[in-house]
Structure formats: structure tokens, C-alpha cells
Amino acid sequence: MEKMKDLKDLLKHEIEDLISAEQQIIEALPSMIEKAKNPQLRQALQEHLQVTEMQKTRLDKVMETLKANNGKEESKGIFNGIFGGGEKVCKGMQGLIKEGEKIISADMNPQVLDAAIIACAQKIEHYEICAYGTVRAYANELKIPQVSQLLEQTLNEEYDADDLLTSLAVGGLNQEAEDRRSGKRSGSARSATSKSSSNGRSNGSNGRSNGSKKSSSSSSSSSKSTSSSSKGKAAKTRKTRASGKRSTSKAK
């Protein structure tokens, strides 16, 4: 690996890592969609696959911008990983996906499998929230607004996806998995459930607290790819979060 001399080199390295991560997610999501039983979960994963493909394209744009920004250095050094020197593999995402594939291949009831798929997807989302929050903070620091904007757009989409998964999990799917264990039929009347701890929010390093607040423009852009019912759930969860634990965030 080339020596990283400054924050810009580190940003390039992290973007390469994310390109690999998104590519791995694009390859892994179809099998998760196929195994999911709940229609809303299937829809959420299907929509996120389309969003992820856009995110990958966005990262390619980021790389092009950094390449242009980098002048003659583009043909050597750290860019070789993307432009001709062999692809970098994000080992973190590889591990998360491998772990997810192992658990969702285990013998379990369909309702339990849905809960396991959500857990797997949220681990991936939390990794991405951390990674995108970090690179956005770097781009802010380096004063490359066009890169910062693209990364923030994706960060907001990852938050939306995570919110939606949380609302599906605590809104019924976890309880359906629990009902299977206690012998109840799924779809029975639900009592109020505790909506805390697992399936909650991550606090990724350099996440929202380390950059500008979510802009309305990127918010509306990310929402376009989400169904109306999905949007409602995600927005509701965001609203709850905004007035809750994340109030410790320091907005710039």
C-alpha cells in the first residue's frame, strides 16, 4: 500500500474501500431478497438494491472528482487500486456479508429468518453509516463541496434504510419471530412492544454529529427511491430520533 501522506490520501483510500463495500452489497442483496418472507421486508430490500446501485455510481463520480482534483498523481500511487492496479477489497464488508450468509443459511422458521435478515442488513447499514459519515467529514475538512454533497446524499439514504429496517423489526417482525417460539400463530393481535436496544440506532464515528445536518434537498432525493409507506415509516423514526438520543450531536 502506498504511503498516505495526508487526509486527502486517506479519503481516497476510504472511498476505494466503500466502492468495494457497495459492490459486495449489490452482489449479496439478491439472495437476501429471495429468502425474505415478509412482503414489506422484501420490498425494502429490493428498493435498497436499486439505491445501492445509484450509490455505487455516485462513488465513481466522487473518484472521478478526486482524480481530476489530483492532477498528475492520478496515474500512479493509491489510484492504481481503482484505475488499473487491481481492485481493493473491503474486508470489513466481506466479513459482515459472510457472517450474514452463514446465519441466514441456518435452519430456522421463516419468521425467525426475517428477523435474522434484518439484523444482517442493519449491521451492514451501520458499517456504511460510520464509513460515509467519516468520508463526508474528511471532504468537509478538505473543502471539496461537490464530494461532500454526494457523500451526504448517500449517508442520508443509509440512515433512511436503517430507520425503515428498525420500523419493520420493532413494528412486528421481531414479535412474529418470538411468537413462533412460544407457539402462537403469526398475525395475532399484538400487545405494545418495547422499541429499544436491538434494532436501534448506531452511533457511527464521524456520523451526523461530525458534519452538516441532513439537507432537505438530499432528503427528498433519497426519498424518491422509497415507497410511500416506507417513506412514512422512515420519516416517523427519523422524527423520533431527532427529538431523542441524537440531540447530543454537534451541528456545525
**Contact status: 24 vs Fe ion (CB under 5 A):** no
User: What residues contact residue 220 under an 8 Å CB cut-off, 6+ apart?
Assistant: none
Compute the least distance from the CB of residue 98 to Fe ion, in Å.
Answer: 18
Which residues in 166-205 contact Fe ion (CB under 5 A)? none
Amino acid at site 8:
K
Packing angle, helices 110-141 and 91-104, rounded to 10: 170
Q: Which residue is nearest to Fe ion (CB)?
A: 55
Q: At 189, which helix (H) or strand (E)?
A: none
Compute the least distance from the CB of residue 218 to Fe ion, in Å.
Answer: 14
Compute the least distance from the CB of residue 125 to Fe ion, in Å.
Answer: 8
Cβ proximity to Fe ion, 48 vs 112, nearer residue: 48
Instruction: Name the residue with cell 419471530.
Output: 177
Which residues in 91-150 contact Fe ion (CB under 5 A)? 128
Cβ proximity to Fe ion, 123 vs 195, nearer residue: 123
What gap in Å lies between CA 113 and CA 249, rounded to an integer? 35
Number of residues that bind Fe ion (CB under 5 A): 3
Cβ proximity to Fe ion, 155 vs 170, nearer residue: 155
**Contact status: 55 vs Fe ion (CB under 5 A):** yes
The answer to whether the beta carbons of residues 51 and 225 sit under 8 Å apart is: yes
What gap in Å lies between CA 10 and CA 5, rounded to an integer? 8
Per-residue H/E/C for 103-117: HHCCCCCHHHHHHHH
Cβ proximity to Fe ion, 114 vs 128, nearer residue: 128
Cβ proximity to Fe ion, 157 vs 176, nearer residue: 157
Binding residues for Fe ion (CB under 5 A):
52, 55, 128
